[in-house]
Homo-oligomer: A and B are copies of this chain.
Amino acid sequence: VSAAAGTDPAALLRGTVEALPEGRLVEQLEGGDLLRVKFGVDPTAPDIHLGHVVPLNKLRAFQDAGHTVVLIIGDVTARVGDPSGRSAERPQLSAEEIEANARTFQEQAFRVLDAERTEMRRNSEWLEMPAEELFALARRFTVARLLERDDFAKRMAQEQPVSALELLYPVLQGYDSVAVEADVEVGGTDQTFNLLFGRDVQQSFGQDPQSVLTLPILPGTDGVRRMGKSLGNYVGVTEAPEEMFGKLMSIPDEVMGQYWLLLLGEDLDEAQPPVEAKRELARRLVARFHGEAAAESAETRFDQVHVEGQIPDDVATVAPEVGEDGTVHLPALLASEFGVSSSEARRLIGQGAVRVGGEPLAGERLDVPLEELAGRVVQVGKRRFLRVVGPADG
């Protein structure tokens, strides 16, 4: 996985935005104590994408220098509903969904982290306190201080709702730091207020306040917005090698330097031709999550399809369900084979992004006679293929 960062403070500060208060983290590192480095995640989505890998890499570097990572799953707050600005109305998750997400997150996080030096915690361990203690906790902090959070101020000025729970969120997250006695907390730059507020909460409980290390937000494959599954600019760490390779080859050149620094921990060699640098980035990341062999075959396949315009060698064969009229309902086929939703399938067909035997499917045909498909390759977009088995083969 990641290379050992050693105990050199400069290596741990590499690729970060701020270490606050100034000079404190270096002091802690030079002091030689083994630090407890906190990172919190809300288990509201099941999969880890490369955006999550940025802090996980940094945590791994701390582990390689001998420190302990405390990974906190925010299960209590997830059960109540995510109070982030992005999705005030996101539905509350069931305990089972959260459990499943937390398990998936943990499994995937261990593709980057060293399990031996990771303490996994759930904030239900301490936030399921008696109501009275919660009230006493809320009593310690003023509304004015909490409203200093940038996005609260902004949203209230725009008359967007901020719930009373959201206002409490930094208090709860800060109390996590008290509960695990964090020495350092790592998070994205969007978390700066919450991370710093953790210091207030620790001080209020008589603890030495943590130092705070913020990291840049990785842009998605569109090169503009942060990665998000619903934005279609997302690379999941469990995606198939070919998908991951292809998506990484599609990022704009302008963000490649960030991908190199934040995901590989190395500066981009500006002398290298961009397409080669991107190919190396894709190869190394696929190798990291799927191994060298998978990376090699993903690259071969990418070249066949994208560079040489070929159909890959290893296309899966499928015997589709055939209706009474002898036709195959394409949206159902694309759903069962590629997990594409029915509405997405209709859109792709309408756009001509579905090809049969190399030719775009004409018109907006959703139902196609089996004989037209049999023995042919159905291709969706650039990277998805299947070969239809005819009635004779079945």
Q: Among the listed B80, B92, B128, B156, which residue makes an inter-chain contact with A144, where contact means beta carbons less than 8 Å apart? A: B156
Least CB distance from A130 to B in Å reads 7
List A residues 144-178 near B (Cβ within 8 Å): 144, 146-147, 152, 156, 159, 161-168, 171
Closest Cβ neighbor of A140 among chain B residues:
B163
Is B165 within 8 A of A81, CB to CB?
Answer: no
Among the 9-residue stretches A5-13, A48-56, A131-139, A341-349, the one with 4 or more Cβ atoms under 8 Å from chain B is A131-139
Q: How near does chain B come to A308, taking the closest CB pair, in angstroms?
A: 55
Within 8 A of B (CB), among A99-119: none
Residues of B within 8 A of A136 (CB): 80-81, 92, 165
| B167–A143 touching, CB < 8 Å | yes
| Bound-state Cα–Cα, A160 to B139, Å | 14
Partner of A165 from B80, B138, B147, B152 at Cβ < 8 Å? B138
Q: Is the CB of A163 within 8 A of B141?
A: yes
Interface size on A, residues (CB 8 A): 37
CB distance from A205 to the nearest CB of B (A): 16
Q: Does A163 contact B143, Cβ atoms closer than 8 Å? A: yes
Whether A127 sits at the interface, judged by CB under 8 Å, is yes
Q: Does A142 lie at the interface of the complex (its beta carbon under 8 Å from any beta carbon of B)?
A: yes
Bound-state CA distance A129–B133 (Å) is 12
Q: Are A139 and B161 in contact (CB under 8 A)?
A: no
Q: Provide the residues of chain B in CB contact with A146, threshold 8 Å.
A: 164
Residues of chain B with a CB closer than 8 A to A129's CB = 131
Q: Which of B130, B138, B152, B163 contacts A139 (CB 8 A)?
A: B163
A29 within 8 A of B: no
A80 and B135 CA atoms in complex are apart in Å by 7
- A221, CB-defined interface residue at 8 Å: no
Is residue A76 contacting chain B, with contact meaning CB distance below 8 A?
yes
Enumerate chain B residues within 8 angstroms of A76, measured Cβ to Cβ.
131-132, 135
Complex contact B171–A139 (CB within 8 A): no
A77 within 8 A of B: yes
Bits for A221-246, please: 1 = Cβ < 8 Å to B, else 0.
Answer: 00000000000000000000000000
